[in-house]
Amino acid sequence: MHIIIDGTTTQDQLAYAGIGQYTKSVIFALVKAFPETQYTILLFNEKVSTLEPVIEVYKNVTIERIGKYRLNDYKNDIVYFTQILPAINRVKTRDSIYYCPYFWRNYPSYSMPTVLFVHDMNLPLFNMYSQQSKIHNFIRRIQYWLTLNKSMKCKYIVTNSQTSLDDFLKYYSAFPKENACVSYLGADMEEKEVDISNVLPKDYEEKKYVIYLGGALNWTKNTDGVIKGYAEFLKLLDPKLKQPYLVISGKVFKDESKKEVQEFQRLISELGIKDNVIFTGFYKDEEKYSLLKNAFAFMHLALYEGFGISPLEAIRAKTPTVIHESNVYKEVFKDMAIFVNGKNEKEVGKTLYDIYTNPSKYKENIEKAYLLSQKYSWEETAKKTHNVFEILNKEND
């Protein structure tokens, strides 16, 4: 069996977002767990992938270079037809199956057996295809549906939660339900502490901190809710005592050339908490566990997610995890997290205050959550995904 996988989201601006993390982790899990299967990974020429150099040691993997690096943007279709599709045609054989981890790079569902991974239906549900302008939003909406409509020709659809699958089927009710399945994600994080004194302020152990890991700045991520909730938390503290930091990690928050980052910084200043908010920018993979482990709480108040890798990682670090009461979070993290209305900053603030002042109250639940979280692993993700490939392979014989 031969699987062709688009690995370009491990090279572009999505490499450290949820999509890029998924692509990297599922590829490693597949090639490791199923060495008899041959994999061809499509990558750009000159841009280093998060898969490299480790992926090169696997004998069942071939890297196919598709040409010059391109951003993931409105030119995706041009890149697909001039670089990706020609590469697919070069390497495909009679028994090839194409696996697409991110539909907006486009995929060959009309010309070969294709399995499409759908992360979520965030954009149509909120009519948010581009934050750049109304015109950009209109153009991107057209591109979105032209590309996603090709999913009706896919052999299988895989999603990361039942919520995502249900949302997909609301828009594509004619898609055969027997050819769609859920494959939950895992946490690709070594549970080993490292020195993070170069990432955080020198007094972080004394003052403590709550942490937010974010890969994007848009209103469905509810980053404003994180800031406002933290500001409410500070109001509940004795002003004479040292105030814990809010640590925000992710390189997107350091790019002050972007309008949304400027607006975010403005809100922080207006709330009078600028000195309390620490932006780490880009952090190394090996630092993630320690950043989470040493926080007194983790916050993720996204209004809509497909799964939620960051909350799972926080639970694995045995950190009290505060998340918005969304459908997918209730599905995935039931009995593992602390649910709040992420749009109610006072409720968020009170919850953080309770965790900060009564840490012993949460110890038993943290241990229980850690054990429950073990059911989510990339090995299990790979098994369910590869099972789809096996079904298709039998159909092709």
Residue 196 located in a structural domain: no
Give the per-residue pLDDT at 215. 66
Q: What is the CATH number of the domain that holds 283?
A: 3.40.50.2000
Shared domain for 251 and 364, answered yes or no, is yes
Among left, alpha and beta (phi > 0; psi -120 to 50; other), residue 41 is beta
Does one domain contain both 384 and 236? no
* 193, part of any domain: no
Give every residue of the chain whose pLDDT is below 50, as ranges: none
In a domain, 192, yes or no: no
Same domain (yes/no): 42, 62: yes
- 231 domain-assigned: yes
Instruction: Count CB neighbours of 180 within 10 A.
Output: 20
Contact 128, 260 (CB under 8 A): no
Q: Are residues 286 and 353 both part of a single domain?
A: yes
pLDDT score at 133:
82
Same domain? 157 vs 281: no
Count of structural domains, the chain: 2
Dist. CA 377–CA 100, nearest whole Å: 20
Residue 287, classed as helix, strand or coil, is helix
Measured CA to CA, the distance from residue 391 to residue 397 in angstroms comes to 10
Assigned domain for 230 exists: yes
The model carries a pTM of 0.91
Classify residue 129: in a domain, yes or no: yes
What is the CB neighbour count within 10 angstroms for residue 261?
Answer: 16
How many whole angstroms separate alpha carbon 54 and alpha carbon 56? Answer: 5
| Structure confidence at residue 244 (pLDDT) | 96
Report yes or no on 189 lying in a domain: no
158 domain-assigned? yes
Are 147 and 229 in a shared domain? Answer: no
For residues 170 and 212, state if they share a domain.
Answer: no
Q: What is the DSSP annotation of 87-107?
A: HHHHH--TTEEEEES-GGG--
Supply the range of the domain harboring residue 119: 2-184+377-396
End-to-end CA distance of the chain: 11
Q: Please indicate, yes or no, whether residues 339 and 246 belong to a single structural domain of this protein.
A: yes
Separation CA 216–CA 210 (nearest Å): 18
Cβ-in-10-Å burial (0-12, 13-18, 19+) of 369 comes to buried
86 and 46 assigned to the same domain: yes
> Where are any strands of DSSP class E within 175-325?
180-182, 209-213, 245-249, 277-281, 297-300, 321-324
Do 228 and 311 belong together in one domain? yes
